[in-house]
Structure 1
Amino acid sequence: CAPGGRVLACVPNNEGAKSAEEDLRQLAGAVGSLSKHKCRAFWTAPLHGPADAALLRQWLALDAVREVADGGLFSRPGVFAWDRVDAASELLIEHLPGDLRGRAADLGAGIGVLAKAVLERCPGIESLELYEAEARALALARRNLADARVPVGFHWHDVTAGVAGGFDTIVMNPPFHGQGRGERPDIGRRFIQVAAEALRPGGRLWMVANRHLPYEQTLDASFGEIRVHAQRDGFKVVEAVKARGRGR
């Protein structure tokens, strides 16, 4: 924040608005606030430095990028499953075949866990595009795939808006929560539709999802062949092949 600047934030009440306001107060001193429409807006006076510089340094250190997963990945607090490979991705990686090839994409790539595994497992992959809506996660993915053996593209992008086409392989662990706490299976269904649109005829989707999520109808409507390769710990690994007569 430039000298004399202000910080203004707005947080839904059910997402920790009061706690966030108190955090800002600790860093910046007195704040004003307004609560309306189940949200809370709060702001600082003109700033000329933090009210508690030591606390700011402490919090910045807690957010620092660090190695996780036995040194195999760079991550930081605040991104999805920041300190580990999540169980769903782990299951998908365990069952990924080695014959995936061609132009590949990772939809909702996070910090690059699946993308990295695909490049390590599948020598036939020729290029890889990562699509991720969270900028902090995408920056970490760049670091995690800095030494990739093939051209890699990084796209700060909402997958539900659609992606470029022409892929032979897509992998994904689609999100199923929105900004609130409730489940949003419509997000996963849209990811499946986008994957089908982006694959070439005969292209392959490998995805993992919670077993209870109702994706079968969308998969059946979007793909020619569907196989469930594994079900464990509440997750399922699905392969779907785009019909030869469909799409781009």
Structure 2
Amino acid sequence: MDKVVIVTGAGRGIGAAVARRVAREGYAVAVNYQRDAAAAESVVAGIRAAGGKALAVQADVAVPEQVRRLFATVERELGLPTALVNNAGITGRLGKFPEADPVMVEAVFRTNVLGLMDCTRAAIAAFRRGGQGGVVVNVSSTAAASGSPHEYVWYASSKAAVDGFTMGLGKELATEGIRVCGVAPGFALTDIHAAAGEPDRAQRVTSRIPMQRPAQPEEIAEAVAWMLSPAASYVTATTLRCGGGV
């Protein structure tokens, strides 16, 4: 069976780096995006130029109907998915919890938790139909352990839910040849900080990082690629911290 991976939120940042990295391992890559078609098509073009196979697929993972369409499109165009990287995620605006907009908080959980679960449910169904097992890698955050007080407690809470989901589901599916793993980045140089309202946040928090620098997206992608690979065949139900010591 051909190796086919869906990377959600892969138009830029960590998702784009993951898509490019796993394409080098022979995966046909579904580059999922929500809004920026040009960015996703640029990632696809780069993969194809390097001799890989890729397809951009629009879908908002927070909408169950769009998740179903995403998986149906990938199966039709690339084949049954054999791996899923749940990378899509939002933070909402930085601030203290009592002043946070409840609608924003709900949106964070719909994308980061419920959307991730919907994608995983669809992936499991595909893996079972393929009969060869599969791998899910959930992109979490070191914020799950710190709680991110005064910044975005709700985002940290959503990622803590992801970690619990990774652990429990990995154990639940362990006898089926389906691995469920996680990678928890620390501060990385992506535009997620600009979306949260502080473009220079990664630089501001550098002093908190033992390695004294934020990560490049490609460094996180290496950890994800390892989790997907046969080298991690005995790893499941666990999340790897990739935060420069955080």
Verify same fold: TM over 0.5: no
Q: Which has the higher contact order (CA 8 A, sep 6+)?
A: 2
Higher strand fraction (1 or 2) = 1
TM-score tier by shorter-chain length is 0.3 to 0.5
TM-score under structure 2 normalisation?
A: 0.45
Higher helix fraction (1 or 2) = 2
> Which is greater in Rg?
1
TM-score under structure 1 normalisation?
A: 0.45
